[in-house]
Chains A and B, each alone.
Chain A
Amino acid sequence: MSATAETPKPLTKKDLTADHPTWCPGCGDFAVLASFFKVLEKLQIPHEKICTIAGIGCSSRFPYFVNGHGVHFIHGRALPLATGVSLSRPDLHVFAFGGDGDGYSIGGNHLDHAARKNVNLTYIVMDNFVYGLTKKQTSPTSPKGFKSKTDPTGAIDQPINPMKKLVYGGASFVARTHAVQVKHMMEVFERAILHPGFSVVEVLSECVVFYPGIFDDGNPRKGGQFDVIEEKKWDNSPEDADRHDVSDENAAYRLASLQYPGKFGVFYETDRPTKNQLEQNMIDATREKQGAVSTVDLLSSRFASMK
């Protein structure tokens, strides 16, 4: 390395590119990756501070395709692992990725708890309404009637509504986008990353092999409609009354209740203390009370109290 004081060279898409993705050609997840790169490029997060974490699934292979510190963990448990990283390493930018099965089925309970605790990290779900990696089984978001290998005559169970789950769970930033709408996707990714706390983006990302065409209704190029949420501008204009207040939880539920393909954009955003901050406050208060004490002294006095 050169001896001169270095201004770090800007982080580029090239620096961030790792192995060529093993996704099928045309898979929606490619666009998610490309948008992620572009947002990182824009935000210029220091390279070594980027940490991507995922469970198991096609979408969960994401960390292999990002050249950054990363973990490819086990099915459904990316969020608790990411929680451990986030809570103990405030210097890092922690990102979790996964699919609908990983996040809403096997990991569904972890999602609620990471959300309510408001762990500081960004979670991107590539929802394709199907289990891709295991080759076409019903997923928790598969609509009724979807013919899969585990429901050859059509799915019979009511799917979950991810947006309602996220708002109910207590996520402090909840947005929805579509993998063919790259510009919109980048905008919400950027807002999610800049949001302090648990931010989630649900991306409709097509599995071209096992559920082709499912998201065409949200794709104008395929005759569908990409209906973006208009957020309040707080300008006292008469139009503003009809715009969406992102801090209004009930309004978020109303948006989440709209008929498929529904609306896209930020459903909910609120400013709540993160678990990271609350834990740090506790550490600070405890240490302030006890003063600067070495480990040996702390333990010694504990032992003395047991004599």
Chain B
Amino acid sequence: MSLSATSDSPETSKRPSVNSEGVTELQNAVIRFAGNSQDGIQTIGGFLARLAGRSAREVMTYMTIPSTISGGPSIFQVHLGSGEVLSAGDDSDFLFAFYQHSYDDHIGSLRPGGICLYDSDQVETIRTDTDAIHVAVPITSATVESIGGSARDRGKNLFVLGMVAALFKLNKEKIASLIERQFGRKNEDVLRNAMLAFDAGFAYPIGNVLSLEFDLKKGKVQGEDKVTTDGNTALTLGLLAGGVRYGAAYPITPWSTIMEQLRVELPKYGGLFVQAEDELAAVSMALGFAYAGHTAVTGSSGPGLSLKMEALSYATMAELPLVVINVQRGGPSTGLPTSVEQSDLMQAIYGSHGDCPRIVLAPKNVADCFYIAVEACQLARKYSCPVFILTDMALASRIEAFAQPDLATLVHEPALDQATRGEEFKPYPLDGETRHAPPGTVMQGGKYPVVTGLEHDEWGHPSASPVLHAKMTARRRDKIKAFGATLPLPEIFGDDAGEILVVGWGSTWGPIREAVDRMRAAGRKAGAMHLRHINPMPNRLDTIFARYQSVVVVEMNDEGIYGYGQLATLLRSRYCDPKIRSVCKTDGLNYKVRDIVSRVEAAAAEA
């Protein structure tokens, strides 16, 4: 057979090698599990990802959440590798199909010559027009048999996990300890059944039907075990490290898991999180926390952010610090609640009424969700303004392994600043930084401040003076500009100059890098530039653009009426450079690496 070692062959050159014992050594493997959400497919994916993190392997996962509540088709894809893993993989090397519909929908995702293991109790019709290697395993009946009693078919996921462990010679003890950690908490029966199913899968004589064995190479030994988690969890922990102790929000997918975790975690840190009656109340409560002197957070997804916009305009005017999270999903309106999109960029920057400058950041991967949350807290305090974090559905749910952050240097211990303010106190000095006196502060002059959304003077007194409004508008804008001036130019990945620069933001960081790798392997002089700070963006990006023949911005949003995606529009308006092209997409799915390559090439050719 023509099994190649990487998911993305034939574009890449890493070939598998068959060793003396006939074992195929793999650098990478992309495994897709397709079933229904109630089958616990996410659980297998989670175990594999965590195992990879414990064995010096890179991992990235991708999953779909069914939009119906009672379950429905669901997939989980795991990309394991001994080198750097940047995307969840375009095509899969292995497909585990639990049902006929899973088979029908996903057999096309298997790369040529890939291996499909299907549940022969459920899948009846096999296609004959593919070169996939088909392996029939009676997953349902074998699972029921292994657990016995009235087990029905629960535990199929662990049976499959056992097969995967055997197939790839994974460390059985490590997996068993992970299973124990997950199920041991529930009760002994649950754990025993899980282990029975897992062992049965591990012992299943797959060799009788598939005369191949695989060994997933280990990466360079990295010393410590890695942390394996999803973006929403990383973001939650970043907020805690950054000093957030109070927050309020209203549930919405895919934001909810952040607020659920904060609700549980914050009391441990002496803080609290409020589930508000709606997003208007949520942002207002969060501003109440901020006014009271705390680092506070609110968050939502698109529809909820729309509701928060009036209060966020207040936060700019009153100059209150607030971290605002938008876990973007497909819009407009209720849109595609469980799909990925980057279409809220302009809303984050310009979505409120009035001249309303604020900071907008976007994390590039799961680890960065942690770091960017810490940074957002610091910036909110320093510049006393709302700071947006634009993450997305893909980052929210995908699992990656990364090194544990250096907590000792990153953790901020919050403290209320209630030092007595002197008579000269001005919260909004024209020539200095905004500093509030939170309630409880003794005002030596006997004059107490009222924070307002009306235009005001340096002391915060309402004033409709035209001169003052111009000055204060400039002041609120200039502090954001001043932050922009502190930002270093982004590092370039790949060629520092040449034919094509691919520009991206947010969760496309990995796939864009992989695309640039491939373009370079094919002889192109190409580089990638990624923006984490989007408003303000670093100055002098034009000096980078000047080094390439064309600049192509890759985004997951619509090209709009004038033909350019949201970041592309901003870059073109800032630099007036017609060389800046745009690649957009609106199907609610992650970019495949090969699509980035072909569409960037096409856009560059147009230029």
Give A residues with C-beta under 8 Å from B: 1, 15, 18, 47-49, 51, 53, 63-64, 67-74, 76-77, 79-89, 91-92, 109-110, 112-113, 279, 282-283, 286-287, 290, 293, 295-296, 298-300, 302-303, 306-307
Contact = CB atoms under 8 A, between A and B. Distances in A.
B269 interface: yes
Nearest to B416: A89
B329 interface: no
21 contacts: A48-B441, A48-B442, A69-B437, A69-B439, A72-B454, A72-B462, A77-B284, A84-B290, A85-B288, A85-B289, A88-B246, A88-B294, A113-B276, A287-B270, A293-B268, A296-B407, A300-B404, A300-B407, A303-B404, A306-B228, A307-B50
Given A49-B440, A87-B272, A92-B440, A81 B450 contact: no
A64 B233 CA distance: 42
B311 A88 contact: no
5 residue pairs, one from A and one from B, having the closest CB atoms: A84-B288, A80-B284, A69-B439, A80-B281, A84-B285
Contacts, number: 184
B287 interface: yes
Nearest to B265: A302
Given A48-B439, A80-B284, A81-B287, A110 B448 contact: no
Given A48-B442, A72-B453, A296-B411, A88 B289 contact: yes
B75 interface: no
**Residue of A84, A110, A113, A302 with most partner-chain B CB within 10 A:** A84
Contacts of B227: 303, 306-307
A84 B286 contact: yes
B183 to A, nearest CB: 15
A84 B282 CA distance: 9
Contacts of A89: 292-293, 439-440
Nearest to B240: A299
B448 to A, nearest CB: 5
B404 to A, nearest CB: 5
Contact of A74 (B286, B314, B413, B450): B314
A295 B411 contact: yes
**Residue of B233, B241, B452 with most partner-chain A CB within 10 A:** B452
Interface of B: 50, 53-54, 225-229, 233, 237, 240-241, 245-246, 248, 265, 267-272, 274, 276-278, 280-282, 284-294, 296, 310-311, 314, 404-405, 407-408, 411, 413, 437-444, 446-454, 462
B440 A48 contact: yes
A82 B291 CA distance: 10
Given A69-B438, A113-B277, A283-B267, 16 more contacts: A67-B446, A67-B447, A68-B448, A69-B440, A69-B448, A71-B452, A74-B453, A81-B291, A85-B439, A86-B288, A110-B277, A286-B268, A296-B407, A296-B411, A299-B411, A306-B229
Nearest to B273: A279
A41 to B, nearest CB: 16
Contacts of A48: 439-443, 448
Given A84-B284, A88-B288, A72 B452 contact: yes
B413 A295 contact: yes
